Homo-oligomer: A and B are copies of this chain.
Amino acid sequence: MSNQLYALAEQLGQAIRTSSDFQQLKQAYEAVRRDETAYRIFTNFRDLQMRLHEKQMTGAEILPEEVEQAQKAMTLAQQNEKLAQLMALEQRMSMVMADVQQIAMKPLEELYRSFTE
Protein backbone atom coordinates (compact mmCIF):
# COMPACT_ATOMS: atom_id res chain seq x y z
CA MET A 1 0.00 0.00 0.00
CA SER A 2 1.03 3.57 -0.64
CA ASN A 3 -0.84 5.23 2.23
CA GLN A 4 2.29 7.06 3.34
CA LEU A 5 2.73 8.53 -0.14
CA TYR A 6 -0.87 9.71 -0.24
CA ALA A 7 -0.61 11.21 3.27
CA LEU A 8 2.50 13.15 2.22
CA ALA A 9 0.83 14.25 -1.02
CA GLU A 10 -2.08 15.52 1.07
CA GLN A 11 0.31 17.46 3.32
CA LEU A 12 2.01 18.90 0.27
CA GLY A 13 -1.37 20.00 -1.09
CA GLN A 14 -2.16 21.72 2.22
CA ALA A 15 1.24 23.43 2.20
CA ILE A 16 0.59 24.64 -1.36
CA ARG A 17 -2.81 25.98 -0.33
CA THR A 18 -1.39 27.98 2.56
CA SER A 19 1.73 29.20 0.72
CA SER A 20 1.96 32.92 0.01
CA ASP A 21 2.44 32.14 -3.71
CA PHE A 22 -0.92 30.39 -3.76
CA GLN A 23 -2.68 33.05 -1.68
CA GLN A 24 -1.39 35.80 -3.95
CA LEU A 25 -2.46 33.86 -7.01
CA LYS A 26 -5.93 33.39 -5.54
CA GLN A 27 -6.23 37.12 -4.87
CA ALA A 28 -5.11 37.89 -8.42
CA TYR A 29 -7.80 35.55 -9.78
CA GLU A 30 -10.43 37.21 -7.60
CA ALA A 31 -9.33 40.66 -8.78
CA VAL A 32 -9.73 39.59 -12.42
CA ARG A 33 -13.07 37.96 -11.62
CA ARG A 34 -14.39 41.22 -10.21
CA ASP A 35 -13.21 43.25 -13.21
CA GLU A 36 -15.53 42.77 -16.22
CA THR A 37 -13.04 44.09 -18.77
CA ALA A 38 -10.14 42.00 -17.47
CA TYR A 39 -12.34 38.91 -17.26
CA ARG A 40 -13.63 39.34 -20.83
CA ILE A 41 -10.09 39.75 -22.20
CA PHE A 42 -9.03 36.69 -20.23
CA THR A 43 -11.84 34.41 -21.41
CA ASN A 44 -11.37 35.52 -25.02
CA PHE A 45 -7.62 34.80 -24.82
CA ARG A 46 -8.19 31.43 -23.18
CA ASP A 47 -10.83 30.38 -25.74
CA LEU A 48 -8.46 31.24 -28.61
CA GLN A 49 -5.61 29.34 -26.97
CA MET A 50 -7.78 26.27 -26.39
CA ARG A 51 -8.95 26.27 -30.01
CA LEU A 52 -5.35 26.48 -31.26
CA HIS A 53 -4.24 23.78 -28.83
CA GLU A 54 -7.05 21.48 -30.00
CA LYS A 55 -6.05 22.05 -33.63
CA GLN A 56 -2.42 21.25 -32.79
CA MET A 57 -3.44 18.05 -31.01
CA THR A 58 -5.63 16.83 -33.86
CA GLY A 59 -3.15 17.97 -36.53
CA ALA A 60 -5.73 20.37 -38.05
CA GLU A 61 -4.45 23.31 -40.09
CA ILE A 62 -3.84 26.51 -38.14
CA LEU A 63 -4.54 29.60 -40.26
CA PRO A 64 -2.19 32.64 -40.14
CA GLU A 65 -5.21 34.77 -39.07
CA GLU A 66 -5.70 32.54 -36.05
CA VAL A 67 -2.07 32.92 -34.96
CA GLU A 68 -2.39 36.68 -35.40
CA GLN A 69 -5.66 36.74 -33.44
CA ALA A 70 -4.05 34.83 -30.57
CA GLN A 71 -1.04 37.17 -30.55
CA LYS A 72 -3.35 40.21 -30.41
CA ALA A 73 -5.33 38.67 -27.56
CA MET A 74 -2.05 38.00 -25.70
CA THR A 75 -0.93 41.61 -26.18
CA LEU A 76 -4.32 42.87 -24.92
CA ALA A 77 -4.00 40.63 -21.86
CA GLN A 78 -0.46 41.80 -21.12
CA GLN A 79 -1.58 45.44 -21.33
CA ASN A 80 -4.23 44.86 -18.66
CA GLU A 81 -2.63 45.42 -15.26
CA LYS A 82 -4.71 42.81 -13.40
CA LEU A 83 -4.10 40.19 -16.07
CA ALA A 84 -0.38 40.95 -16.30
CA GLN A 85 -0.22 40.46 -12.53
CA LEU A 86 -2.19 37.21 -12.75
CA MET A 87 0.03 35.82 -15.51
CA ALA A 88 3.21 36.74 -13.61
CA LEU A 89 1.92 34.94 -10.51
CA GLU A 90 0.81 31.94 -12.57
CA GLN A 91 4.28 31.70 -14.05
CA ARG A 92 5.89 31.87 -10.62
CA MET A 93 3.52 29.19 -9.32
CA SER A 94 4.22 26.87 -12.23
CA MET A 95 7.98 27.28 -11.66
CA VAL A 96 7.55 26.36 -7.98
CA MET A 97 5.38 23.37 -8.96
CA ALA A 98 7.97 22.22 -11.52
CA ASP A 99 10.68 22.38 -8.81
CA VAL A 100 8.47 20.49 -6.35
CA GLN A 101 7.76 17.81 -8.94
CA GLN A 102 11.42 17.49 -9.91
CA ILE A 103 12.44 17.05 -6.27
CA ALA A 104 9.72 14.47 -5.53
CA MET A 105 10.35 12.51 -8.75
CA LYS A 106 14.13 12.41 -8.38
CA PRO A 107 14.27 8.74 -7.27
CA LEU A 108 12.40 7.64 -10.42
CA GLU A 109 14.50 9.84 -12.66
CA GLU A 110 17.68 8.37 -11.16
CA LEU A 111 16.34 4.85 -11.61
CA TYR A 112 15.58 5.43 -15.32
CA ARG A 113 18.92 7.15 -15.87
CA SER A 114 20.96 4.39 -14.23
CA PHE A 115 19.10 1.87 -16.36
CA THR A 116 19.70 3.52 -19.71
CA GLU A 117 23.34 4.40 -19.08
- Give residues in A with beta carbon < 8 Å to B: 2, 4-6, 8-17, 19, 21-22, 25-26, 29, 32-33, 46, 59, 93, 96-97, 99-101, 103-108, 111, 114-116
**Copies of the protein in its oligomer:** 2
Q: How far is the CB of A21 from chain B (nearest CB, A)?
A: 6
Instruction: Tell me whether A101 and B101 are in contact in the complex, defined as CB-CB below 8 angstroms, given that A8-B15, A93-B108 are known contacts.
Output: yes
Instruction: Name, among A13, A19, A25, A106, the residue most crowded by chain B CB atoms within 10 Å (CB to CB).
Output: A13
Find out whether the CB atom of A100 lies under 8 angstroms from the CB atom of B5. Answer: yes
Find out whether the CB atom of A12 lies under 8 angstroms from the CB atom of B6. Answer: no
Q: Across chains A and B, which 8 residue pairs bring their CB atoms closest together, nearest first?
A: A9-B103, A17-B107, A12-B104, A9-B100, A9-B104, A8-B12, A13-B104, A29-B115
